[in-house]
């Protein structure tokens, strides 16, 4: 159907994540993408405010927080057509990973094709970012980190509910995030992630102090 793009976007809410895991509370793609956007925006702001310059005094590539948020909104949009593929399956070996990358690329192109021609360039870039552009590549590093942190938050929430199913995933995600070696990501992890383990009463108490 012509111009179906945004109607398809609205179906993000029907794509459930973590399909191989026993969930206490299900999480859909729309919820995940919103959280990734919030975190990516925050990490980009932290980069601007505290880590714009390297230790040696060289200026780091600037990342626009608003661009980071928008790229994050669309970072998993191909899953509307292909679903959320479990990580153990998607990355089972290099051949399977390559096949899925091609499937995701095709899905993104199919979604963009439902837009009027004048809009395809804008949304084509959001669904398939040009990583040869330095600023875009840096932005997507932040989006990737936010994606991992969002997944870690899910693990933390499941742990709070007494579900130990996500404990190994949490450990793996923490290692992956630490290996990114982005100071703004480390700042977010140190300053903001611990609060996700708190109860509402604890959060309200801290905010009142």
Q: Can you give the pLDDT of all 209 residues of the chain as single tens digits?
A: 568 999 999 999 999 999 888 999 999 999 999 999 999 999 999 999 999 999 899 999 999 999 999 999 999 999 998 866 566 556 557 777 677 778 888 889 999 999 999 999 999 999 999 999 999 999 999 999 999 999 999 999 999 999 999 999 999 999 999 999 899 999 999 999 999 999 999 998 876 55
Q: 153: closest CA among 196, 188, 190, 186?
A: 196
For the chain, list the domains and their CATH numbers: 5-208 (1.10.3210.10)
3-state DSSP call for residue 166? helix
Quote the pLDDT of residue 103: 80
Phi, psi of 181 (to 5 degrees): 55, 45
173-180, long-range: CB within 8 Å, 24+ apart, which pairs?
173/148, 176/148, 177/145, 177/148, 177/149, 177/152, 180/141, 180/144, 180/145, 180/148
15 vs 28, 37, 76, 81, 203, CA distance in Å? 5, 17, 11, 9, 30
Quote the pLDDT of residue 87: 64
């Amino acid at each position: 159907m012509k111009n179906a793009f945004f109607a398809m976007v609205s179906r993000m809410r029907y794509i459930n994540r973590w399909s191989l895991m026993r969930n206490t509370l299900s999480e859909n793609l729309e919820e995940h993408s919103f959280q990734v956007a919030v975190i990516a925006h925050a990490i980009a702001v932290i980069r601007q405010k505290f880590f714009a310059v390297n230790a040696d005094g060289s200026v780091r590539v600037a990342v626009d927080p608003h661009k980071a948020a928008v790229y994050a909104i669309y970072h998993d949009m191909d899953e509307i057509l292909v679903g959320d593929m479990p990580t153990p399956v998607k990355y089972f070996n290099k051949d399977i990973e390559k096949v899925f990358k091609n499937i995701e690329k095709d899905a993104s192109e199919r979604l963009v094709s439902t837009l009027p021609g004048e809009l395809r360039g804008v949304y084509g870039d959001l669904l398939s970012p040009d990583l040869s552009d330095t600023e875009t590549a840096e932005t997507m590093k932040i989006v990737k980190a936010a994606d991992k942190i969002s997944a870690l938050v899910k693990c933390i929430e499941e742990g709070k509910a007494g579900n130990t199913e996500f404990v190994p995933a949490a450990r793996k995600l923490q290692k992956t995030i630490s290996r990114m070696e982005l100071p703004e990501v480390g700042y977010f992890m140190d300053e903001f992630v611990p609060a996700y383990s708190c109860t509402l009463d604890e959060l309200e108490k801290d905010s009142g102090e």
